[in-house]
């Protein structure tokens, strides 16, 4: 923790979260674009166009749900990391305040033995 | 900046370097998101931002003179770039700034900034920073020498242009600007990357489009390197370098250019094609042209150091010797 400040650690956390989110979105977009191709070809066949479109819709829904879940997990993980960092910050503040012992208490502690 | 004298409370040098690289790559995103890793432009002293107040400047620069030199690093770097390397590869206490101070009495200031931001925006920030520096400086500033490495040189041009248009006082004190490996005509690698990204996005294939999108994640600072010096007067990025208004050269200063090459023979194909690995060599026509004040460096104001690569231009003794020679020249015709 001494190598980076707490705010910098928050920055790292935010950047990782942004990167994961952007990566998942880009992958989802590419996935749906790739999947569109066979569905587009099959839906030109009149006999099976309707079921193909239905399957396409279900596939897109499931795909978006899966990637959406990953992004949700990412946000939850980010929130958890934020909570950990907040606790560390509060602990650091408490320790810093604890070091500022009033002079009387300092002399009492020093004179105990 | 110098490893041996970094403030105890400063981050380790490797952390600062990592953050600087990150800013170079995605600094515009960091800034937009208010991320704590985004660097705020400041003058840095022993690894910490310098507060531009009279008392702080007196404390950190007790030997301040009326001449200052401002050193601006390039993409993905920080002021640690200026440190000379010792035999073991460790940073030493010497740099162009410290040597100019020792030999010619210039007080050095090292700028660190978020190199992912648009160059024009950084130029305006730099102009404002230098105005604050002048206001807080404990003595009247009689002369300013600007030294920019790579993208830093483009920032200097933008800063001078912005300051000139806003009639900022400091710009009238600029005697000379020295550009080290600065891509005034756009960096070849940045241009190739732009073409590659655009081509990949045009291809009607989701995978190649995805790769194009990934390449396009690079920062605005990197993208700006593909063009001639960007101007903040342009509201939209132009489609080609020729369509962009070029920043005029500060008319009241002498401009100098230092370039490097990959090989000791500047006619070697590697040097001809790639220059110092990132920036092309100046053309024969530029080197043969008549040198003049307030104009693009030409003739004797261009020096090529064969065999010195891009990053090494910022911390080489031979390059320093040339910088010192130029700075020793009388600033004839410089308006006061």
- Any idea what the Cα angle at residue A49 is, between residues A45 and A55, rounded to 5°? 130
pLDDT at A2: 53
Residues in chain B within 8 Å Cβ distance of A29: 206, 210
pLDDT at residue A105 greater than cutoff 70:
no
Given a contact cutoff of 8 angstroms between Cβ atoms, the answer to whether B108 and B94 are in contact is no
pLDDT at B4: 43
Q: How confident is the model at residue A102 (pLDDT cuts 50, 70, 90)?
A: low
- Rg of chain A over CA atoms, in angstroms? 27
Residue whose pair of structure tokens reads 């399957």 in the numeric block: A55
Interface test with B, best of A8, A17, A24 (most B CBs within 10 A): A8
Which contiguous run of DSSP H or E holds residue A43? Answer: none
Which contiguous run of DSSP H or E holds residue A89? Answer: helix A49-99
Interface test with A, best of B8, B19, B31, B37 (most A CBs within 10 A): B37
pLDDT at B194: 85
Distance from C-alpha of B331 to C-alpha of B233, rounded to nearest angstrom: 31
Cβ–Cβ contact A38 with B under 8 A: no
Least confident window among A23-27, A60-64, B120-124, B226-230:
B226-230
pLDDT at B182: 94
Q: Which residues contact B122 (CB under 8 A, 6 or more apart)?
A: B41, B113, B114, B115, B155, B158, B221
Paired residues of B143 in beta bridges? B67
pLDDT at B2: 42
Percent above pLDDT 70 for chain A: 84
pLDDT tens, N- to C-terminus, chain B (336 residues):
444 456 666 778 889 999 999 999 999 999 999 999 999 999 999 889 999 999 999 999 999 999 999 999 999 999 999 998 755 556 567 999 999 999 999 999 999 999 999 999 999 999 999 999 999 999 999 999 999 999 999 999 999 999 999 999 999 999 999 999 999 888 888 888 888 888 888 888 888 888 888 888 889 999 888 876 555 544 444 444 443 457 889 999 999 999 999 888 888 888 888 888 888 888 777 777 766 777 788 788 899 999 999 999 999 999 999 999 999 985 444 433
Residues in chain A within 8 Å Cβ distance of B19: 8
- Supply the ipTM of this predicted assembly: 0.78
Contacts 24+ apart (CB under 8 A), B276-280: B276/B181, B276/B308, B276/B309, B276/B310, B276/B313, B277/B309, B277/B310, B278/B150, B278/B181, B278/B183, B278/B187, B278/B188, B278/B189, B278/B310, B279/B150, B279/B181, B279/B182, B279/B183, B279/B187, B279/B188, B279/B310, B280/B183, B280/B185, B280/B188
């Amino acid at each position: 923790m001494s190598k980076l400040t707490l705010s910098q650690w928050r920055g790292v956390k935010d950047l990782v979260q942004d990167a994961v989110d952007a990566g998942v979105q880009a992958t989802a977009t590419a996935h749906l674009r790739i999947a569109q191709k066979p569905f587009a070809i099959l839906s030109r066949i009149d006999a099976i166009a309707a079921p193909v479109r239905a399957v396409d819709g279900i596939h897109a829904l499931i795909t978006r749900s899966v990637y959406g879940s990953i992004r949700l997990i990412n946000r939850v993980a980010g929130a958890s990391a934020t909570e950990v960092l907040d606790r560390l910050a509060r602990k650091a503040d408490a320790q810093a305040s604890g070091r500022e012992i009033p002079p009387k208490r300092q002399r009492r502690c020093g004179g105990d033995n | 900046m110098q490893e041996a004298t970094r403030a105890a409370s400063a981050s380790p040098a490797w952390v600062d370097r990592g953050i600087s690289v990150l800013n170079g790559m995605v600094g515009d995103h960091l800034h937009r998101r208010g991320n704590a890793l985004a660097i705020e432009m400041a003058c840095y002293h022993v690894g910490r931002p310098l507060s531009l107040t009279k008392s702080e400047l007196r404390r950190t620069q007790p030997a301040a003179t009326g001449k200052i030199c401002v050193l601006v690093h390039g993409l993905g770097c920080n002021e640690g770039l200026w440190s000379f390397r010792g035999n073991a590869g460790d940073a030493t206490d010497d740099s162009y700034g410290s040597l100019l101070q020792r030999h010619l009495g210039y007080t050095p200031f090292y700028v660190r900034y978020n190199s992912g931001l648009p160059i024009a925006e950084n130029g305006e920030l730099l102009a404002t920073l230098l105005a604050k520096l002048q206001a807080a400086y404990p003595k009247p500033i009689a002369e300013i020498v600007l030294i920019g490495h790579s993208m830093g040189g483009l920032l200097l041009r933008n800063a001078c242009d912005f300051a000139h248009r806003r009639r900022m006082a400091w710009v009238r004190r600029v005697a000379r600007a020295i550009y080290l490996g600065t891509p005034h005509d756009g960096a070849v690698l940045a241009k190739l990357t732009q073409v590659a990204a655009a081509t990949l996005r045009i291809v009607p294939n989701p995978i190649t489009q995805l790769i194009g999108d990934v390449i396009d994640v690079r920062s605005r600072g990197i993208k700006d390197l593909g063009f001639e010096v960007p101007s903040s007067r342009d509201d939209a990025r132009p489609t080609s370098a020729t369509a962009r208004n070029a920043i005029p050269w500060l008319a009241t200063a002498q401009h100098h250019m230092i370039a490097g090459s990959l090989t000791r023979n500047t006619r070697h194909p590697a040097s001809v094609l790639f220059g110092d690995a990132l920036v092309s060599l100046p053309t024969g026509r530029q080197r043969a042209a008549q040198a003049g004040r307030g104009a693009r460096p030409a003739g004797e104001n261009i020096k090529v150091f064969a065999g010195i690569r891009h990053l090494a231009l910022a911390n080489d003794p031979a390059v320093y010797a040339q910088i010192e020679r130029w700075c020793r020249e009388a600033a004839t015709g410089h308006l006061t």
